[in-house]
Structure 1
């Protein structure tokens, strides 16, 4: 089990530095992705096409960071043949970068919709309250998942997983309301569908943040909590305290 004091320490200082460096690169990528999400939501709410374009342009940088971190993980696996907690760290990093890259993709999709919606009727902001509300929640989930990874904090990771359930419920509620609105006003269908796709991207961002949180629990406690349900996950985290 990894405690909150951090990484294992090895006789080889270089090995210690390699592990810390790859973890730092993951967190740097996470910080950029978190900013992407924040900016994408702001671009849509404020009809800021310039900011939306910036969000989309960052996507290539995110993809390159994913490739670089993957290469670092492969080099460590090949040269160091890590065992126990070090192996869990490398596995967790290599899986987390996939989720971060996909969060970046969803932010880019939101930015694309922001540009499209800015060209439509400026007096129709149906669904924007839900976007702001759910957007704030998933941005916080991404932030806290990364904080949990930085601090090896399984309890905070559990909190992220718990928040995901609330986001899913709010997404379904917003979807029902928007579907009803479209039926009442068929002229709104095209615009509201775009809003629904934005909400879908936000819901997926929440799912990816939960995935990272589950990897933190695996990293800290050595227990795979994927697909076991929230109740059993809570039990596992409490058992490891």
Structure 2
């Protein structure tokens, strides 16, 4: 009989080859095991992170003053150790360092932390499972920004219509005055201040109209820029994915 077949499956190989993003932590939060998919998603190598403390490998992004990833994950892992129950976290912004050490990449994750029990019900390990939801979150943020700009554009368009209506009303008054004959103009000469006020108001509205048109153009520019950025980001992601797929697991 084949000794390898008789010895049963190699569970470490099975774990490392699983399609999910898994990290196994000791109770002192040191990395014990990691799946290949997790290594790929976090741009890390097994031999470089195994045995090290979780937050040494994945610290907060120092360039993000609002980073809460470490604090939130630490709190969740402590709850697992204390309550001995799985703890599902809300979507977390947790940037990961580039392998070159030159900065961090923005990432969003959906984490689940699960206790692994040993003898007498003691927690021996924690399985840290994550799903990379970065594309979903960034797309949702872009959609919100796009909707906001669209709303502002609609408001600007409505404001332009209002300005044009008011200008047309003033022009109509001035036009009626301009077609009066001399005798009729003399009869309304006592309304000269009113006509002057209309002319001033017309100039003011003209300036406001120009400002509103400039604002509308700026909103359109932002919308077009956002669409271009989204298209370029998708192309960069496709190129990045293609490049990583070609590398496969050679660097692990």
Greater RCO (CA < 8 Å, at least 6 residues apart): 1
Higher strand fraction: Structure 1 or Structure 2? 2
Higher helix fraction: Structure 1 or Structure 2? 1
Q: TM-score, normalised by structure 1?
A: 0.29
Q: TM-score, normalised by structure 2?
A: 0.28
